[in-house]
Structure 1
Amino acid sequence: MPLAWRAYRTWKLVIGRQRSINHNVVTATDTSVFLTACAAIAREHDRERYLACLYAPDSRRDALFALLAANHEIAKTAEVVSEPAIGQIRLQWWREALEGVEAGRPRAHEVAIPLAEAVERGGLRPQRLYAIIEVREADLDEDPPADLDALDRYAAGTAGELHAAMAEILSADPVAASLTGTAWGLLGLMRAAPALIAIGRRPLPDTLLQECGLSHQKIRDFGGSIRLGDAVRPVVERARLHLVQAHDSVNFHAPAFRPLRLLADRASDHASLLERADFEPFDLPPAARPTGGLIWRHAVRMMRYRLGF
């Protein structure tokens, strides 16, 4: 590939959605457009969290959507790059974008501008996103997590940090939120394991696979004929433990925590699906896009929360 074309392709991957407007003059109209774009990204790519955020106070929603959009842009890095070096460049671009946000000079990017607003007025701490970027570098590495504790640390550093950042925007308990987010991350990886393995990712802990006489390559070769229950069960049990610990925390039932409590209860739904499938992710029903049914379930749960249940 010619060097000039390679450089241009890398630039396109790194810059992504950046718009050609004056970096020093961002109008109120620009900001409004960017806020709408963040909500659209969250709605399209992180719909379950998006729906929960609809129950947050109006004054906090823009910051939450900016956070979810930034998390999506960071999390998808391994999926949109052709080699780890380009992924590192993309993650470094986001580090520098956060540095600009902290310095009060955000890049003219449809996610960076709303992030700056979220930091300045919404209670978002950039350190949470820096932490997510650091852990997301593991997505560019072909090695699987060594054991269940390593997978747990990965989930805590990604979904756990994200939920803690959401809690800080909501003036809720970030410790309880981190527990629910870690559970969410563990369960999401198990539910998505067949799809992830099919594209070459290795989400299952090495030690758990070895105990079952399995490998990611064997799973990739034989697909649904492989039984994964014995490897997945400990991960689901760890997620359940985190949910219990969060539920037992003193602030779990606080009004400010309710959007995150919706996600905790939704994580419990996902755990139940895996349990009913005997912990076999290949046997789960096809993932349906959350629509009206989930909206009504959230509404009923919010009513129960308000009644003290």
Structure 2
Amino acid sequence: MAGTSNIVMDAVRAADHDRYLSALYAPANKRDALLALYAFNAEIAGVRDRIHEPLPGEVRLQWWRDVILAEGEAETGHPTADVLRAAITAHHLPKAAFENMLEARVFDLYDDPMPSRTDLEGYCGETAAALIQLAAMVLDATAAPGFAELAGRAGCAQAITGLLLLLALHRRRGQCYVPADILAAAGTTPEEFVKGDGGAGAERAVAATIALAREHLGAFEKGASALPASLRPAFLPLALTRAYLDKMEKGAPSPLKGAAALSALRRHWLLLRHATRGLGTPFT
């Protein structure tokens, strides 16, 4: 199993470096399970990158449902699937959370616009927030349930920021995760936002989406001081969220044109500071 664990660790390092770094701050006996969760998340988030047609993509998501719901300990031959099943069993993780996550990811396969802010927050809740809560259960099953609401806020802040970082890619694909009600308030439409040249309405919509991410981040930071140290690694990627949002608001480049980037040194420094001092105080 050690070889499988190394394959999974390398997959997370390549596909989701921020979560990979955060997992290194977890106790050694919890890391394999955390990396299994993060590898699974990377796998299902990247289905559209690998499978460009919706129906084959849905088939792939169904394969994951079948693997997770299957009884017994027979290996699948897929490194991530095998370590994920082991983590689910060892930590008594609710399979319904994985089913909901997979159902939410069906949206990624199509080009339908995100209907509303409520729909976006629901999507974030079933994906990033659920992932944080599952990681918290791995780290401290006793304490985790008391911080489910905080995980919801954290997941919304992190996921909305992540969608903003991928905004230029999504526009090239014809996808629109910025909610239609936010676009309407900004004076544009999903069609114009995706296919247009990014005029004033598009910039207003981006600013409103950044503000939404900050709203959830602020709510998370208010409650983060109560997080026990045992749960901190599950929430640690939030250490980078404010820095990404700050970078976007400086407008070079606009999220419409390209992704904001943080240097490796800055990411390491922010993670270290928050890992040692907690997540309730923003560091710059």
Class of the TM-score when normalised by the shorter of the 2 chains: 0.7 to 0.9
- Could you tell which deviates more after superposition, 261-270 or 60-69? 261-270
Q: How far apart, in 2, do the equivalents of 1:274 and 1:208 lie?
A: 18
Find the partner of 2:43 among 70, 73, 76. 73
Match of 2:127? 158
CA contact (8 A) 1:155 1:185 kept: yes
Note the 1:112-127 alignment, pairs <5 A: 112-127=81-96
The 8 Å contact of residues 180 and 242 in structure 1, kept in 2 or not, is answered as yes
How far 1:223 moved relative to its partner? 3.7
Q: Classify 1:283/1:233 alpha carbon distance in 2 versus 1 (closer, same or farther; 3 Å).
A: same
Greater CA drift, 133-142 or 269-278: 269-278
The match for 2:52 is 82
* TM-aligned CA deviation for residue 148 of structure 1: 1.3
Q: Higher mean Cα deviation, 149-158 or 265-274?
A: 265-274
How far is the alpha carbon of 1:56 from its aligned partner? Answer: 0.6
Contact in 2 for aligned 1:229/1:278 (Cα 8 Å)? no
8 Å Cα contact 1:106-1:116 kept in structure 2 = no
Please state how far the C-alpha of 1:150 moved relative to its aligned partner. 1.2
Matches within 5 A, 1:195-214: 195-214=169-188
Structure (1 or 2) with the larger CA radius of gyration: 1
Within a 5 Å distance, the mapping from 1:17-56 to structure 2 comes to 31-56=1-26
Aligned to 1:128: 97
In the alignment, is residue 143 of structure 1 matched against residue 112 of structure 2? yes
Q: Which residue of 1 aligns with 2:277?
A: 304
In structure 2, relative to structure 1, the CA distance for the partners of 1:55 and 1:144 (3 Å cut) is same
Q: Tell me, yes or no, if the aligned pair for 1:251 and 1:257 is still in contact at 8 Å.
A: no
The residue type equivalent to 2:129 in the other structure is G
Deviates more, 1:77-86 or 1:249-258: 249-258
CA distance in 2, matches of 1:270, 1:202: 20
Q: Whole-Å Cα distance in 2 between the matches of residues 51 and 138 of structure 1?
A: 28
Give deviations 1:42-69, integer Å, cap 9, x for gaps: 1100111111111011111000001111
Out of 234, 243, 258, the position equivalent to 1:269 is 243
Per the alignment, residue 294 of structure 1 pairs with: 267
Bigger drift between 297-306 and 142-151 goes to: 297-306
In the TM superposition, residue 226 of structure 1 has moved relative to its aligned partner by 5.7
When normalised by structure 2's length, the TM-score is 0.86
> Which residue identity does 2:97 align to in structure 1?
R
Equivalent residues of 2:111, 2:175 under 8 A apart: yes
**Partner residue of 1:169?**
138
Q: Deviations over 1:19-44 (max 9, x none)?
A: xxxxxxxxxxxx22111111111110
- Greater relative contact order (CA < 8 Å, ≥ 6 in sequence): 2
5+ residue gaps, structure 2 = none
Partners in 1 of 2:224 and 2:161 — Cα distance?
24
- Name the Cα RMSD after superposition: 2.7
**1:141-197: CA deviation from partner (whole Å, max 9, x where unpaired):** 321111111111111111111111111111143332232112100111122211111
Unaligned runs of 5+ in 1: 1-30
String of CA shifts for 1:70-104, please: whole Å, max 9, x gaps: 1111111122223211111111111011112x543
Range moving further from structure 2, 83-92 or 104-113: 104-113
> Residue 260 in 1 paired to residue 231 in 2?
no
User: Contact 1:164/1:177 (CA < 8 Å) preserved in 2?
Assistant: yes
Match of 1:111 in 2: 80
> Is 1:64 aligned with 2:38?
no
CA distance in 2, matches of 1:272, 1:63: 32
Q: Tell me the residue number matched to 1:96.
A: 66
Aligned residues: 276
1:229 to 195, 203, 206: 203
